[in-house]
Amino acid sequence: MRENSKRKGSPNNNTEGEYKAMSDKTLKIGALQLNNPFLLAPLAGITDKAMRSLCASAGASLTYTEMISAKGLWYGDKNTRRLLDISPIGDEAGDPFSSSAKDFAPARCSAGRSDFPVAFQLFGSEPEIMERAAMSLALGKWMKRGEFLEDVAEDAPAGEYTSGPAANGPTIPALLDLNAGCPVPKIVRNGEGSALLKDPDKLYDVASAMVRGVRAAHEELAAQRSESLLLPVTAKIRMGFERGENNAVECAKVLEAAGISAITVHGRTREQYYDGRADWQAIADVKRAVRIPVIGNGDIYSGSDALRMMYETGCDGVMIARGALGNPWIFEEAIAMWEARNADVQADYVPPTQNQRIEMLLHHLNLVIADKGEKIAVKEMRKHIAWYTKGMRGATAVRRAVNNIDEAEPMKREIRRLVR
Ligand SMILES: Cc1cc2nc3c(=O)[nH]c(=O)nc-3n(C[C@H](O)[C@H](O)[C@H](O)COP(=O)(O)O)c2cc1C
C-alpha cells in the first residue's frame, strides 16, 4: 500500500491510469447487489430516517440504522422498535411527505423519498439473544420476552404502533450487521461492541448465532412461500481494542468462518475512539486475508478520499461516516469520480452552492419534523445546522441563536439569514 499521507479532501494527484485499472464490479453482499460501492455508516443519534433518506437520494447504495439493542428487541422495547421503522416519512395514505415536509423540496434533492435499501445494525453479546433477534428481524416479527408475536396489537397500548408498518412487525431490511466496534464504556462493560474484539471465540459465537437465526427464518419463510432470499449477515469491526493493537485479520477470519457475508473495517482501535488517523493498512491486510467483500471505513471526507481508499487498500466498498455530516453530496461526488475512475475529474460533480446547502438544511429540518415532530426535530437539528453551515460567514451567530430556539419557524428564519 502506498503512503497514506493525504487527508481531509486534499487534492488528489493520482494519475488517471492507475484508477482506470480498478475493478468495474460493484459491491455484492451475499445475494444483495448494490448500485455502487459507497455506503452511509451507522451513526447513533444521527442516521435516522431523514439522514438516511437524504444520503440515499444523493446516491448512497446502502444506509444503516443507528445501532439497535438485541436485548431491547428481545424484551419488546418500544423505543428500540421505533429505530427499526424504515417506512417512508409521511402520512399513512402512502404520501411519502407529510405536508410539513412537502413545502420545501430543494432542486438538489429530487428523489428524497426512499431510504432503501437499509441495513439494521445490532449490538449484543449473548448468542441466544442475537440468534433470536436476527431471526425475528428476518421474519419481520416483533418479540416479547424472546417469543415472536403474530399480532403486535396484543402488545400495544393505545396510541402505540396500532397502525402503519411498525405495527405489524419490522420491515425486512437489506441485511443485518453486527456491531463489533462501539467504544462506549457502557456497551464495552457489557461485553458488547468493541469488547467482542478482545475475545475472538465470543465474536465467533455471536456472529454464527446471528447467521443461524437468519437461516432458520429463511427455512421457515421458504417453506411458506417457496421463495425467500437469504438475508446477508455482515459485521463491522475496528482494527483492535487497545492502542497499538491490531487483530483485525484474526477477527475477520473468525467472522468469515462464522458465515458472515462481508466485513467493514474501521481502521482505529477502541482506545482511539474517533481520534487520530484511521490506519488504512489494516483494511488492506484484511482484504488480503479473506475472500468475502471488505468495506473500508475511516477518514473519508471527499470523493477523492473514497477512491483513494479503494485504490490503496483494494477494498470492495467504502463506508462514509463523519464525512456525510452536513454533506450528503459526498455520495454524488464519490460516484462521479468512481464512474470516471478519476479522482481529479470533477466533470459530473458540481459542489453545492451556499444557498443549495441552506436549502438542503431546511429540507432536512422538514423531514425530521415530519418524522419525529417539531419539538424533537428542533433539538436534534442544532447539530446538523452546525455541520451544514460550517465555514459560512455569519454561521457562528446563527448557531448560537438556534441553540436557544425551541420552535421550527424561528429556527428556519435564523437559518435563512445565511442565504446569499
Ligand atoms: C456520533 C457517532 C456515532 C456512531 N455510531 C455508530 C453506530 O451506531 N454503529 C457503528 O458501527 N459505528 C458507529 N460510529 C462509528 C462510525 O460508523 C465510523 O466507523 C467512524 O466514525 C469512523 O469513520 P469516519 O472516520 O469516516 O468518521 C459512530 C461514530 C460517531 C462519530
The C-alpha angle with vertex 238 and arms to 76 and 216, in degrees rounded to 5, equals 40
pLDDT score recorded for residue 167? 62
Active site residue 315: no
If asked whether residues 154 and 282 sit together in one domain, one would say yes
How far is residue 266's CA from residue 102's CA, in Å, rounded to a whole number? 37
In a domain, 370, yes or no: yes
Q: Whose CA is nearest to atom 28 of ligand 1?
A: 43
The answer, yes or no, to whether the previous bond of 173 is cis (omega within 30 of 0) is no
In a domain, 376, yes or no: yes
* Alpha-helical segments (H) within 49-141: 49-57, 70-75, 78-83, 99-102, 127-139
The CATH number given to whatever domain includes residue 388 is: 1.10.1200.80
Q: Is the CB of 297 under 6 A from ligand 1?
A: yes
Distance 409 CA to ligand 1 centre (A): 31
pLDDT score recorded for residue 153? 64
In a domain, 17, yes or no: no
How far is residue 107's CA from residue 97's CA, in Å, rounded to a whole number? 16
Q: Is the CB of 213 under 6 A from ligand 1?
A: no
If asked whether residues 334 and 399 sit together in one domain, one would say no
Domain end residue (candidates: 301, 319, 346): 346
> The cell 438544511 sits on which residue?
361
If asked whether residues 290 and 390 sit together in one domain, one would say no
If asked whether residues 361 and 313 sit together in one domain, one would say no
pLDDT score recorded for residue 4? 40
Other CB atoms within 10 Å distance of the CB of residue 54 = 24
Question: How confident is the chain (420 residues) per 10-residue block, as mean pLDDT?
Answer: 40 60 84 94 97 94 97 94 86 41 39 65 98 95 91 61 62 94 98 98 98 95 78 97 94 98 98 96 98 98 95 96 98 92 72 96 96 96 98 97 97 97
If asked whether residues 134 and 255 sit together in one domain, one would say yes
pTM of the model: 0.91
If asked whether residues 362 and 326 sit together in one domain, one would say no
Distance 64 CA to ligand 1 centre (A): 11
Task: Provide the grid cell at 240.
Answer: 483492535
pLDDT score recorded for residue 326? 98
If asked whether residues 319 and 359 sit together in one domain, one would say no
3-class DSSP string for 121-164: EEECCCHHHHHHHHHHHHHCCCEECCEECCCHHHHCCCCCCCCC
Domain end residue (candidates: 316, 346, 376): 346
- The secondary structure of 6-29 as a DSSP string is --TT------HHHHHTS--PPPEE
* Alpha-helical segments (H) within 146-258: 165-168, 185-189, 200-225, 248-257
If asked whether residues 321 and 419 sit together in one domain, one would say no
> Which of 55, 188, 266, 302 maximizes ligand 1 atoms within 8 Å of its Cβ, making it the mutation to test the pocket?
266
pLDDT score recorded for residue 94? 40
In a domain, 11, yes or no: no
Structural domain of 407: 352-420
If asked whether residues 253 and 385 sit together in one domain, one would say no
pLDDT score recorded for residue 241? 97
> Which of 4, 43, 299 maximizes ligand 1 atoms within 8 Å of its Cβ, making it the mutation to test the pocket?
43
Domain end residue (candidates: 304, 330, 346): 346
How many structural domains comprise the chain?
2
If asked whether residues 232 and 334 sit together in one domain, one would say yes
Q: Whose CA is nearest to atom 18 of ligand 1?
A: 321
If asked whether residues 420 and 332 sit together in one domain, one would say no
How many angstroms from the chain centroid is the CA of residue 297?
11
In a domain, 294, yes or no: yes
pLDDT score recorded for residue 61? 95
Atom from ligand 1 closest to the CA of residue 264: 19
pLDDT score recorded for residue 268? 97
Helices (H) and strands (E) in the chain, counts: 17, 12
Q: Whose CA is nearest to atom 6 of ligand 1?
A: 43
pLDDT score recorded for residue 171? 85
Q: Is the CB of 274 under 6 A from ligand 1?
A: yes
If asked whether residues 204 and 337 sit together in one domain, one would say yes
In a domain, 164, yes or no: yes
In a domain, 415, yes or no: yes
In a domain, 155, yes or no: yes
pLDDT score recorded for residue 137? 95
